[in-house]
Amino acid sequence: MRTLVTGAYGQLGHELCAQLGADAIGIDCDTLDLCDGPAILRTVAELRPELVINCAAYTQVDKAEADADRCRAVNAGAVEYLVQACRQADCPLVQISTDYVFCGNPRRGRPHRESDEPAPQGVYAVTKWEGEQAAARYPRHLIVRSCGLYARPSQRQAVNFVKTMLRLGAARPELRIVADQQCTPSYVPHLARAILFLSAAAGGPPAPWGVYHVVNRGATTWYEFAAEIFRQAGMAVRLIPISTAEYGAAAPRPAYSLLDIGKYQALGGPEMPAWQTGLADYFAEWRTMEGS
């Protein structure tokens, strides 16, 4: 299946292209300006994909607070044009979204389900929700929400929490880490294979159209995640738990963003392992690289 992947230089887009192999058509900002709607229409028409997976996004959460127009253009406006392009190409659209759409929701005592009403806060979260709404107006859509993505260590240009912790841990004896946000960090190779299953790009029938939550299993905090990173890396770093308020970020963060993956699991797709297993898979490759 000829699959157009936007944001192909990003963590998820890069992995999807790798798993798709020759079926992938990867594009990024150097070949397509997502703020240029007519260019989106022309590009999709010229490439004639059988599937579009939109991984492109404005993800600088704090910077977005002062750059709202561009953030909205990329996260919402571009999706409207991709919907139009997919209609013309007669192909499905997979829109990648985020746990941040639940930023303003109170803790429910259970992970968020696809049927729960989003309550985004902050420019990034609001524009990602607007992008979801644009995608949902197209009947042949899949919206995949995930959380805390980190790519393979061999994807050297990737920026994520794991790489940041390893870099800072090598330079400092102690780190202050937010301990009051519950989440499920997800290993990109696991997420990518699930997306290809849902979209039928890996063979087999496509999943029913709609919204799906796909994350590694379990629950943690960024503080606990950092502790496990250093444990698996064999690094002695003192961690000091702090609150979200103490961290003082410009944009709101979800205090509780666990996502229920029962709907995905019911389809019998590739297993989403526990978050600790995702991290172990990361470090298995990391050790191979370190030893080479």
Taking the C-alpha atoms of residue 141 and residue 135, their distance in angstroms, rounded to an integer, is: 6
Nearest by Cα to 283 from 193, 165, 145, 146: 165
3-state helix, strand, coil in the chain (%, to 5): 45, 15, 40
Taking the C-alpha atoms of residue 214 and residue 192, their distance in angstroms, rounded to an integer, is: 10
Taking the C-alpha atoms of residue 113 and residue 213, their distance in angstroms, rounded to an integer, is: 8
Catalytic annotation on 124? yes
Residue 151 near residue 15, CB atoms below 8 Å: yes
Structure tokens at 136: 């949902």
Nearest by Cα to 167 from 99, 213, 235: 235
CB-based contacts of 3, cutoff 8 Å, min separation 6: 16, 20, 23, 24, 25, 49, 50, 51, 52, 53, 199, 201
Compute how many other C-beta atoms are within 10 angstroms of the C-beta atom of residue 198: 21
Taking the C-alpha atoms of residue 191 and residue 264, their distance in angstroms, rounded to an integer, is: 11
Q: Which of 58, 81, 100, 124 is catalytic?
A: 124
Q: What is the largest CA-CA distance in the chain?
A: 56
**Burial (CB count <10 Å: 0-12, 13-18, 19+), residue 79:** buried
- Catalytic residues, which ones? 124
